[in-house]
Amino acid sequence: MSTTKLLYFQDAYQKSATAKVLEVVRDGTQTALILDQTIFYAQGGGQPADWGSIMGEKSAFSVTHVSYNGGAVLHKGTLSGEIEAGEEVTLEINWRRRYQHMQQHTAGHIIDQAVKNVVLGAQSVDGNHGIGKQLFVEFSTPLHTDLIPQIQSAIDHIRAANLPITSEMVSYEQLIERQIKLPFDLPQNKELRIVQIGEYPPMPDGGTQLLSTGEAWPIMVTDIVEKDGKWRVIHTVAEEVSSVAKNQTKIEEASSVQPSDQLNALLQNIEHMKAEFLKDNAQPEKLQSKYLGKKGVFNQLAQTLKDIQPQEKKLAGQYINELKTSLETAIAAAQTQHVATQAWVDLTVPGKKPAVGHMHPVSQAMEEITHIFEQIGFTRVRYPEVDWDHYVFEALNMPPNHPARDEWETFFVDVPANQAFGKVVLTTHTSNGQVREMERLHSQPPMRMINISRCYRRQQDATHTQMFHQFEGLVVDKGITIQHLKGTLNYFAEQFYGPGTKSRIRPFHFQFTEPSFEVDFSCHICQGTGQVTHDGETTKCRFCKSGWHEVGGAGMVHPNVLKAGGIDPEKYTGFAFGWGIERTYTLKEGLNIDDIRLLYSGDLRFLEQF
């Protein structure tokens, strides 16, 4: 994209110029020209675009809108005749429209500075200088209509002073070095323009400005309104015939009498105090004491009035009073803003108790499961999470070629194998505790064990994690049958999921039980029917789909496992069951957890629900 040189940055009063056409952009009936340089202002910064004409050798182009497009300026309008890229053209702007916009934009800067003179520390954030129906300058600092007379007086003072308005191009780094306040974000990869009124602080600006404040037409503040947490100083700019000459005469008359050294010193001290106040970040009550207290800096300055010549004391008193008013207004505004940002505190309300944590939901489930089985004589034990192949597979009747012993299913630990017990693995289930429990009790039933521990498998998805928890039940005694297993399952179902919950067992195959079963619990929502009725309409239960939930496996302990634990299977029998705690817990009423990994996310928003 071509770049257009902006001539109005050098001279906003230039009414005509020549340029070369870089590109002709046609879009249907619309035409736009990109030139190598332009005097036409592109709309932005609250200022409307210029109008005017671009004349070629065989064409006339009426400009009705101008806009930025990257580094190029698009001149949009109506074309009569033919115009080509590379052609030399003559530019002429609608001067009356331009000058009115210059007046409106400069008025915005004068108001900005006037408000800052009245309310020290005021921050402007936006402005409308002719694009909308209403002219305004917007501030983030709270303002009120009682300030209008003071702001109006400050505006008139700046106009009457006929201060020069200058501009320069600087880099973003220079802006920062010079500590120029930025009311909004600015690009950091190109030169930026700043405008300065007299000796007041400069500020970023991209519009067209007058040469002096004395040239400005009368500016009238009509209202101050709050909108979306910002305060708009609404104003008008009225054209004044021969305003430049009138203001120039006024300044010349005022300058005929030179102020004394004492008055000049007072004025310098006033400006110095304002500058110090703006830099002061103290709380409002400290500002009040420092600047307006009995021994404050304002009273110290006011005492210097005795040194002013009699004919200048009235003028000096006006400056002192204006300073006091501006300090009082600024401190009041700071107090208002400070209060607005602080939460109201009622000291009569009891204090908030500090947040107290609770056990992780998985730990809660462990405690509940342990308590349920302790009521019927089970003993809580815990066996290694990193164990020998012998206890995890071999003693549980799993042959060497069993799929579970494949490295794609099980995490093997890279340490030397034991000649008697084999490799070291991360336990894939809590069933490794069965033979260990038999050994702990010296192969002497009865045994009622509940083993809770971490387990590890290679799967990872919404319903599986590579690390999870299981609880393993084992009962070994004389005469133990499937009826004992079924009764234990029903007992746990009612205690954990609520009264009326039933269990069912379905034939399956596990290497370490015979016979083996899959265990289901009836759905607590549809009471095991698979259907729910709401507002007279019966539909399939969305939670279980069938009336039952699968929770895990169970079965009668395989004779080979009893033998591995040193127990005679001809005298004793037993049953075992093992289920995932996370799976069992997430089936509870009201949880509806669709991704088991959430339990280990560490997200307090999730964990605080339990």
Question: Which of 138-142, 209-213, 269-273, 505-509 has the least mean pLDDT?
Answer: 269-273
Kindly report, residue by residue over 201-238, the tens digit of the pLDDT. Answer: 888 888 899 999 989 999 999 999 999 899 999 999 98
Relative to beta strand 5-6, strand 37-38 is: parallel
**pTM as predicted:** 0.46
Question: Which of 187-191, 384-388, 543-547 has the least mean pLDDT?
Answer: 187-191
Average pLDDT, rounded, for the chain: 84
Residue 122: name the closest of 105, 137, 136, 107 by CA: 137
User: Band of the pLDDT at 323, cuts 50, 70, 90?
Assistant: confident
In this structure, the number of other CB atoms found within 10 A of the CB of residue 28 comes to 5
User: Band of the pLDDT at 342, cuts 50, 70, 90?
Assistant: low
Q: State residue 365's pLDDT score.
A: 87
Q: Where are the beta strands (DSSP E) in 310-412?
A: 379-381, 386-388
In this structure, the number of other CB atoms found within 10 A of the CB of residue 279 comes to 8
Q: Do 75 and 33 form a contact (C-beta atoms < 8 A)?
A: yes
Kindly report, residue by residue over 127-157, the tens digit of the pLDDT. Answer: 999 887 789 999 999 999 999 999 999 999 9
What sign does the dihedral 463-467-471-474 (CA atoms) show? Answer: positive
Kindly report, residue by residue over 399-419, the tens digit of the pLDDT. Answer: 887 777 666 678 888 899 888
In this structure, the number of other CB atoms found within 10 A of the CB of residue 189 comes to 6
Q: How large is the C-alpha radius of gyration of the chain? A: 43
CA 186 to chain centre: 21
DSSP-assigned letter for residue 293: S
Kindly report, residue by residue over 558-596, the tens digit of the pLDDT. Answer: 999 999 999 999 999 999 999 888 877 777 766 656 566
Return d(Cα 572, Cα 81) in angstroms, integer.
Answer: 110
Average pLDDT (297-305) is 88
Residue 170: name the closest of 151, 150, 187 by CA: 187
Q: What are the tokens at 414?
A: 């890279």
User: Who has greater pLDDT, 372 or 580?
Assistant: 372
Residue 381 has pLDDT above 60, yes or no: yes
Average pLDDT (152-167) is 90
Average pLDDT (34-54) is 92
Please work out, in degrees rounded to the nearest 5, the angle formed at the alpha carbon of residue 58 by the alpha carbons of 56 and 61.
50
Please work out, in degrees rounded to the nearest 5, the angle formed at the alpha carbon of residue 63 by the alpha carbons of 61 and 69.
110
Per-residue three-class SS string for 372-394? HHHCCCCEEECCCCEEEHHHHCH
Return d(Cα 182, Cα 169) in angstroms, integer.
Answer: 15
pLDDT cut 70: percent of the chain above it? 89
